Amino acid sequence: MKLRVLMVSALLATASLNAQASEHPAWSYDGNGSPEHWAELSPEYSQCQTGANQSPINITAALKTNLEPLNLRFMELPLKEVNNGHTIQVADKGGDILTLDNQTFELQQFHFHTPSENTIEGRSFPLEAHFVHQNATGEIAVVAVMFRPGEENKELSKLWQHMPASAGSETAISQKIDLKGLFPKEMSYYRFSGSLTTPPCTEGVRWIVMKQPVTVSEQQVKQFAAVMRHPNNRPVQPAHGRVVVE
């Protein structure tokens, strides 16, 4: 009987260790888990330090080309909003589509950073939204929108009404959100190759950064910052000779 108890205990201990090993190491934006330490937290995060095409970047000296018009299709559907401790993320798998490079990328989620992660000619913005899309083979394309100080953003207000205040909590958004209200009317953009801006900092991400910002009120920025309790932006990374096109 004692041997059986010991065997069961050993199995439970092994299962517990395996479960812990399978969990992603904790990271943050400050303290020992801050961006400069991400690569030290796990071998999975090594690209955060060794990668040559990391994001975000300072967009400057863009090469003028004939970029194809940005092709976005939006559906007005109820969404789910999550506070994951790093940002406010809105889950969206309702058929919102980005067509890029003759491929279809479906919107998976969008989230926010304050202050902005990318900068344009050295200019930072109080808020940046990332719309994360994925194609059938798992490749990622991120469309980034900057917010400048100004009038209250009506669609953002709808999201902020449901903003979960504590990490790990989520809320369903009953009213429909018109995502077009989170995008500028003039849809010119910059494009470059980069990475995820959070661990594991995976590279090969197609980045689209809208040239024109939309407005956000000072109160809306303060409301988001109060829930986050700290800035949630990764510092600008070296371009390493990357070409930004416009």
Catalytic residues: 86
Q: What is the DSSP letter of 157?
A: H
Q: How does 190-205 read in b/e, with b if 16+ C-beta sit within 10 Å?
A: bbbebbbbbbbbeeeb
Q: Which tokens belong to 33?
A: 């888990």
CA distance 222 to 231: 11
CA distance 45 to 51: 10
- Strand intervals (E) in the chain: 58-59, 71-73, 79-83, 88-91, 97-100, 103-113, 119-120, 127-134, 140-149, 170-173, 189-195, 203-210, 214-216
Nearest to 86 by CA among 32, 172, 20, 26: 26
CA distance 135 to 196: 16
- Computed on alpha carbons and rounded to an integer, the radius of gyration of the chain in Å comes to 20
CA distance 226 to 206: 31
CA distance 79 to 162: 10
Q: How does 89-101 read in b/e, with b if 16+ C-beta sit within 10 Å?
A: bbbbeeebebebe
